[in-house]
Structure 1
């Protein structure tokens, strides 16, 4: 029997790091939805292209999917067994977003499809991941909690981790018991 996990949470919650850690521990592939969603010059992939790529990758028996993209829920949660929601506090999210963004800007880290974050984009435009993360923190929290109670997703075990300690405890002690 396969293991199919989707890790969700707002920008800066630690989805990518967490997803990679659990995929490594379980020795299964980690799929980063951002990699499928972005093309060069920060152009978003068309929905049909994103959906097609996602369906192909999620057709395997084992995976950890890192990412939200509610428009893909009908695909990603069809066969998903576990959704881990990283629900950390606002101040932790803000700190992480700011720190991560500054590191990416100053190191010139290449992200998906060769894209790089720039100071201008992140601090002076509405395309900022910081702006997006902070403005969506509370609305997304509400929707994630509603989703976890939706009868359509009754086949999924929802796990909500609310602190760094709970996240660490899950990875080191509880992962193999789910």
Structure 2
């Protein structure tokens, strides 16, 4: 597993971004897509149909884009079968392993912005109102879900390292590390990168 200071062995064409809900996976995936000229597939948009109903075509759609040569997506829905499709094809995984207070504050800002503005997310779905943060059910309250899944990636990563030895994994432990890492990759690729933007849709 590499750190922010380690050079990449290759310029990747297929990239996964891992991390707990609220860590900023989608925002980073967009920036990587722009930097490396990759297609960004927002995997939430493939999974959620109208009224937050899971789409039956989800795994078929994942297989279709994973078979292509150049893409970046969020490493999610592992319990739904994506681990049999995405990691075998990916060349690089970026793990956003940020402190709890960082991901918590990001998620609160995102959830409030989505709930207050009622911005459409995917297929007509919108975030539930801020009052839903009082619900203790992790299936209904995104903050409770984050708490319940906070250590999932820490527990899983050793198994992924063993299971997918071809996959280069970079662990970034703070947003500052991520910015330094991005600047280093941009310099190595001979491109410029835009500064980070605060987005209510980051996951």
Superposition TM-score, scaled by structure 2 size = 0.79
- The offset of 1:128, in angstroms, is 2.1
In 1, the alpha carbon distance for the partners of 2:13 and 2:51 equals 34
**Deviations for 1:46-86, whole angstroms, at most 9, x for unmatched residues?**
3xx21100011111111111232213111011211001111
In 2, the alpha carbon distance for the partners of 1:93 and 1:65 equals 19
SS of equivalent residue, structure 1 residue 102: helix
In 2, the alpha carbon distance for the partners of 1:122 and 1:140 equals 24
Aligned residues: 174
| Alignment correspondent of 2:101 | 91
Superposition TM-score, scaled by structure 1 size = 0.90
| Alignment correspondent of 1:172 | 183
Unaligned runs of 5+ in 2: 1-10, 190-203
Kindly report which structure 2 residues correspond to 1:34-45, keeping only aligned pairs within 5 A, or say none: 34-45=44-55
Provide runs of 4+ in structure 1 moved above 6 Å. none
2:33, 2:39 within 8 Å by CA — same for their partners in 1? Answer: yes
- The offset of 1:174, in angstroms, is 2.8
SS of equivalent residue, structure 2 residue 68: coil
- The offset of 1:176, in angstroms, is 6.6
Unaligned runs of 5+ in 1: none
Kindly report which structure 2 residues correspond to 1:124-139, keeping only aligned pairs within 5 A, or say none: 124=135, 125=137, 126-139=139-152
In 2, the alpha carbon distance for the partners of 1:52 and 1:174 equals 32
